[in-house]
Amino acid sequence: MGTVVTTLEAASKALAIAPQRGPCRRVLMASPAHFTVESAINPWMQDDSGALNHVDTVRAAEQWNSLRAAYERIAIRVEVIAAPVGLPDFCFAANQSVALPGKVVISRMATEGRQREVPYFEHWYRAHGFEPIPVPRNIERFEGTGDAIAHPGKSLFWGGVGPRTAAGAWEFFSSAVDVDVIPLKLVDERFYHLDTCLCLLDNYSALYVPAAFDDASRGLIESAFSRLHAVSDADAANFACNAHCPDGRHVLIQQGSAQTVAWVKQAGFVPIELDTSEFMKSGGSVFCLKQELP
Ligand code: ARG
């Protein structure tokens, strides 16, 4: 049975004994057809005067298509779920679920508006052979792979605890899907999902925003990864940590994070720089726009 791991010693043991997990060969992306910014549910969605960001829908579609093509070029198959009208954040397919072999944990979104996205995803998963596992009622919020980040190559998760996912969600998740989880406490509202401040590249390598975590959580990350890059403030605000390394080699990342990209290259990875600027107006980039499928 999976457990929630909180000490350095227990985390290193959990990592050492975690079962192997195969590479990502397939992702689910959600159509950006009705993507817009209608209300600010995170700090990135409005400008300094408090006005909501304006999305250019044509550019958003182009950027989304380029991301899809980038996955296909590196031999990752892309499945697409159609978007219903009236759900402006639907395209962020990381958040409504965590897909696992044969089953899928269905999120409880922190906001009522986004909760309405969830049944469409549940329907898609059922139709594609996944058995849905609902989050029990007493867990007030759980936002899928926005906060559940799988350790590369291993059946173990790092779990964000913050504005979108409650601490108690990890007790449920670890026992429901029989996997160990190392929770990490998020302390800066700009980094509201774990995928905005931690990007795992391989078993040894990761990008992180040190100030986004409390001391104990930062210590857990620093002891688990021997090649760690502390992302600069500028690159963090450019969503450098919302990159995705699906295969242990290519790193799909928002363009313009020169320092981070230089580090990624010298660490032996191949960066693929993309423009996700329209989605950043809603507080998301590459990692948020897909769900890894087993
Ligand atoms: N506007 C969306 C929200 O605030 C963006 C979600 C981005 N997703 C992510 N995994 N960080 O919910």
- Give me the DSSP letters along 247-275: SSSEEEEETT-HHHHHHHHHTT-EEEEE-
Cα 77 to Cα 233: distance, rounded to the nearest angstrom:
33
Band of residue 100 on the pLDDT scale cut at 50, 70, 90: very high
pLDDT at 66 over 90: yes
What's the pTM value of the predicted model, to 2 decimals? 0.98
Does the domain made of 8-16+23-293 have the CATH classification 3.75.10.10? yes
**Which DSSP letter does residue 197 get?**
T
Mutation choice for ligand 1 from 67, 92, 141, CB with most ligand atoms inside 8 A: 92
Give the distance (Å) from ligand 1 centre to CA of residue 87.
13
**Residues of the chain above pLDDT 90, percent:** 99
pLDDT at 1 over 90: no
| Tokens 């959600």 found at | 30
pLDDT (tens digit, 9 = 90+) per residue, 177-204?
999 999 999 999 999 999 999 999 999 9
CB 106 within 8 A of CB 121: yes
Ligand 1, residue 196: give the atom nearest the CA: 11
pLDDT of residue 156: 98
What does the mean pLDDT of the chain come to? 98
pLDDT of residue 125: 98
- Residues with Cβ within 6 A of ligand 1? 41-42, 89, 92, 94-95, 114, 146, 193, 195-196, 282-284, 288
Decide if 193 is catalytic. yes
Q: Closest Cα partner for 187 from 169, 211, 203?
A: 211
Q: Please compute the mean of the pLDDT values over residues 247-258 and round it to a whole number.
A: 98
Query: Strands of 156-161's sheet, edge to edge?
Result: 148-150, 156-161, 180-185
Decide if 199 is catalytic. no
HSE at residue 230, side-chain half, CA atoms within 13 A, is 7
Band of residue 244 on the pLDDT scale cut at 50, 70, 90: very high
Q: Which of 91, 241, 245, 288 is catalytic?
A: 288
